[in-house]
Structure 1
Amino acid sequence: MIELSFAGWFQCRLATDPDPYDEPRGVSGYVHAYAGEPDLDRIVSFQPPPFRRTHGRDIGVAVDAVAHEGIAVPDHPLVGATVDLLDAPKFEGRNGVVADDGLEPLYPFHLQVARDDFRAARAVVPADPSFPYAELFAGGVEFGAAEIRKATGEQDLTATWAARVTALRAELADAAEPLRTAIAERLAFLTGNLGADGGGAARFFGALMRYDYVLSSEPEIDDPHGWLDATDHDEPWRASFWLGGWDADVLCGYARGTLRLPDGAGPRRSPRVPRVTDRRP
């Protein structure tokens, strides 16, 4: 078994309840597209997207460790490889029609690992293409503040937000429109939530959702240097990860997980498909 561990910040600009899931600007929920910003697109981006808010996170998920049969390979050439989600995946809760809060599937799920001229990608193949979510539900919301703090190195999101307020106030006077209005809107959100009981939207930083996906599509592999020579490409791959550490100001969260690739050693076993609740309308 070859295990690629990965971690990093992702972005997802999506409307929140009670707005419709596909609301492009944000009306009633706490997320809004501010003046001059593009519409909310709901796309989960593991690599730098076209638009990001200032004073935010460095978007980018990458392989941070490689192990073979449980033994770390610190000098493996895939350490530092980018991990990306292809085909513009989205959280498909759809205001409870597909999934309740904390169970939202991430679809489509097409994971790619790449570095230089190396590329390996594979996707979840839904059993029911007309309702392709049953294999993709999350395990529910967990309060994982300690795990998130350890992964991100960030101890207090409210302190981060207070520093952003200071930086944005310093920029406000000299900002031209529409940026000036956008900064004012953003400051209203930050100061309002910092003054709210329980930290307002900052409390979401301590929550996470776990996923466990079987990737069984035809593998897409360009491996000219033989970095994955031992991998059994006929067997499914497995991606186990969590998404959490939500920063509601810059609409970013943290991803940490492992991609497991069988190497053909030992008997073959059928993958376990997670049991989920079918929310078919």
Structure 2
Amino acid sequence: MNEQIKQLADNIEQVIVGKREAVIKIITAMLCGGHVLIEDVPGVGKTQLVSALARSVDGKFNRIQLTPDVMPSDIVGFSMVNQQTKELEYKEGAAMCNFLLADEINRASPKSQSSLLEVMEEHQISIDGKTHTLPVPFMTLATQNPVETYGTYHLPEAQMDRFIMKISMGYPAYEDELQIMENGESMKSAKDLDAVMSTEEIEKLIKQAAEVNAAPSIRKYILDIVTATRNSDYLRLGVSPRGSIALLRASKAYAFVMGRNYVTPDDVKAVMTDVLAHRLMLSPKGKSAFESDKDALQAIAMQVNSPVSAE
């Protein structure tokens, strides 16, 4: 594993016990310049994971607890007249930061949810004819509870497509939870973490991850998987070109995290489900055959021949 990435992951794991895979995936998404949706039941550490990542990097971290009465201006900001200069001044919203934690995003109204579309795709905010560029790096980390749906608003497919990954943490293993219980109050919280990396270092890592080599056979393998989702009877909606680009970027970033300068088929397989599954919609036939879109994707991908070598 890349030494800088290992240091970052180890720092996060002072707070998050036994979830190395989730930690690696969220760091991978950061190195893509992408956004992450963490969907899981309450109490498994979603917010702590996001906070730990943000605190481990010397950048600006904002959190907004989304509820039905949150307005778009709370997220993107607004313009108001300065009484002294009589000119419009931009007042920053929660999105003007390096790491934005949108907690329980599915509790925000559709209008507030849609205010994040430009922010996530263009990394900018347009208000009153003026464009305000977000700092680099910028990453939206959203959480949602898949069990309790009362008082929630379904995220539209256009917004789901903006997330490079959708991950779940799951319950901790027996031994890990025992350690969490034994440590109790002595465990660090995210606010106690020291930054181990600057935003400038993250920018350099993002550029290095983008330069990882993906051979033509790897690119063809990714496209074959994506094409298979579009032609499957099990799916009503396959993966868009944005999804194929996202899978390539995530595969390169994952290879970089693992300490390599080239992508292997195993790198593609490691991130495929997290990158593609939330972009799919099952057909009636798919719903009867599979329990989830992840299961359907795995079955479809198994029918695609994997390249023997990354060369």
TM-score, scaled relative to structure 2: 0.26
Higher strand share: 1
Higher helix share: 2
TM-score, scaled relative to structure 1: 0.28
